[in-house]
Amino acid sequence: MKAHAAQKTVLVEVAEIAAGHPLRKSVDEFPAGDVGVIQMRNVDPEAGIDWAGVSRVELPPARRIDFLGPGDVIFSTRGARTYAVALGEVPLPAVCSPHFFVLRLRAREIDPGFLAWQINQTAAQEYLKREATGSHILNIRREVIERLEIVVPSLARQVAIVAFAEGAAREKRQLSALIENRQHQMNALAAALHHSIED
């Protein structure tokens, strides 16, 4: 893959795609242990993984547990919206539930954060929605995500795009916090106004 020119490919050409860890029962039914199991409720496409909320369980003996690692990208296979999240530091031995695919990049020329960002953008989301099965709860089959087209620019441009996206997400969080704080102030003002009339 040439470093200087953006190229189009499909996901299966650049990443290994595996299902999440098979679970034969609800996570809450497993005994407590040391292995984290990432569920959809633990993941936000902008904030990432809520590691503090990840259930820690004892998984039944298996020949091989494929633990998640830095640089892996997890992709939700079902729900009202599908999304991808790139993993940075993984603070404990962890797997993800079968509601995710694990995308493990083969090519060093692709930044995991950039791959997750591109999957979450309009073009990829429209393709996934069009190809999904189910009417209310979308379900993405493996062959659908394998055929997802991605554009691969230079690594430097990928890193710049990820930095820009992270800055935009940070601004969004700051604005949301400001709006929420202003609403609290308005609520307090209204309550104080009512109390002044009653007094």
Kindly report the pTM of this predicted structure: 0.82
Q: CA–CA separation, 165 vs 161, rounded Å? A: 6
Q: CA–CA separation, 90 vs 70, rounded Å? A: 6
pLDDT band per the 50, 70, 90 thresholds, residue 117: very high
**For the chain, which domains are there?**
7-153 (3.90.220.20)
Question: Is there a contact between 151 and 118 (Cβ–Cβ < 8 Å)?
Answer: yes
Q: Which helix (H) or strand (E) holds 113?
A: helix 112-119
pLDDT band per the 50, 70, 90 thresholds, residue 199: low
Nearest residue to 94 (alpha-carbon basis) of 130, 135, 125, 50: 50
Name the token pair of 116: 């997750």
Cα torsion 44, 50, 53, 58: sign: positive
